[in-house]
Structure 1
Amino acid sequence: MSDIDPALSVTVRKAARALGRHGLVHAYGHCSARIDADRFLVTPSKPPGLTEPGEACQVVPVEGPLPDGILGEVRIHQRIYRTRPEVGGVVRFMSPQMMALAGLGRTPRARHGFGAYFSPAPPLWDDPQLVRDDDKAAGVVAALGTGRAVMMRGNGAVTAGETLQKAVGLAFYLEDACRVEIEALKAGLAETAPVLDAEEARLRATDAGMIFERLWDYLTAGDPE
Structure 2
Amino acid sequence: MIAAAAHPPRSTRNCSDVEWKARTDLAAAYRLFDRLGMTDLIYTHMSARIPDTPDHFLINPYGLMFHEVTPDNLVKVDIDGTLIDPDSNHGINPAGFTIHSAVHHARPDVGAVIHLHTDAGMAVSAQADGLLPITQHSLRWHNRIAYHDYEGIALDLAERERLVADLGGHHSMILRNHGLLTVGQDVPEAAILMYYLEQACRQQIMALSGGRPLVYPSPEVCEHTARQYEHAYPRAGVLEWDALVRWLDNSVGPTGPR
CA contact (8 A) 1:29 1:93 kept: yes
For this pair of structures, how many residues does the alignment match?
223
Partner of 2:213: 189
What is the rounded CA distance, in whole Å, between the counterparts of 1:141 and 1:219 in structure 2?
A: 30
Gaps of 5+ in 2: 1-12, 84-89, 252-258
**Structure 1 residue 13 and structure 2 residue 36: aligned?**
no
**Structure 1 residue 222 and structure 2 residue 248: aligned?**
yes
Give me the CA root mean square deviation.
2.7
What is the rounded CA distance, in whole Å, between the counterparts of 1:40 and 1:216 in structure 2?
A: 21
User: In percent, how many aligned pairs have the same letter?
Assistant: 24
Partner of 1:86: 109
Letter in 2 for 1:100: A
Partner of 2:93: 71
What is the rounded CA distance, in whole Å, between the counterparts of 1:96 and 1:206 in structure 2?
A: 31
**Structure 1 residue 42 and structure 2 residue 59: aligned?**
yes
CA contact (8 A) 1:87 1:162 kept: yes
For residues 41-60 of structure 1, the aligned pairs below 5 Å read: 41-60=58-77
What is the rounded CA distance, in whole Å, between the counterparts of 1:197 and 1:133 in structure 2?
A: 37
* CA pair 55-224 structure 1, distance change in 2 beyond 3 A: farther
For residues 48-197 of structure 1, the aligned pairs below 5 Å read: 48-62=65-79, 64-65=80-81, 67=83, 69-73=91-95, 74-120=97-143, 122-127=145-150, 129-186=152-209, 187-190=211-214, 193-194=216-217, 196-197=221-222
**Structure 1 residue 23 and structure 2 residue 37: aligned?**
yes
CA contact (8 A) 2:102 2:161 kept: yes
TM-score with structure 1 length normalisation? 0.85
* Structure number with larger C-alpha Rg: 2
* Deviation at residue 47 of structure 1 after TM alignment: 4.4
What is the rounded CA distance, in whole Å, between the counterparts of 2:98 and 2:115 in structure 1?
A: 11
* Deviation at residue 54 of structure 1 after TM alignment: 4.6
TM-score with structure 2 length normalisation? 0.75
State which drifts further: 209-218 or 26-35.
209-218
Gaps of 5+ in 1: none
What is the rounded CA distance, in whole Å, between the counterparts of 1:127 and 1:111 in structure 2?
A: 25
What is the rounded CA distance, in whole Å, between the counterparts of 1:66 and 1:206 in structure 2?
A: 40
* Deviation at residue 168 of structure 1 after TM alignment: 0.7
What is the rounded CA distance, in whole Å, between the counterparts of 1:207 and 1:56 in structure 2?
A: 38
CA contact (8 A) 1:108 1:121 kept: no
Letter in 2 for 1:61: D
State which drifts further: 99-108 or 112-121.
112-121
* CA pair 33-52 structure 1, distance change in 2 beyond 3 A: closer
* CA pair 224-129 structure 1, distance change in 2 beyond 3 A: farther
* CA pair 127-218 structure 1, distance change in 2 beyond 3 A: same
What is the rounded CA distance, in whole Å, between the counterparts of 1:66 and 1:202 in structure 2?
A: 41
* Deviation at residue 152 of structure 1 after TM alignment: 1.6
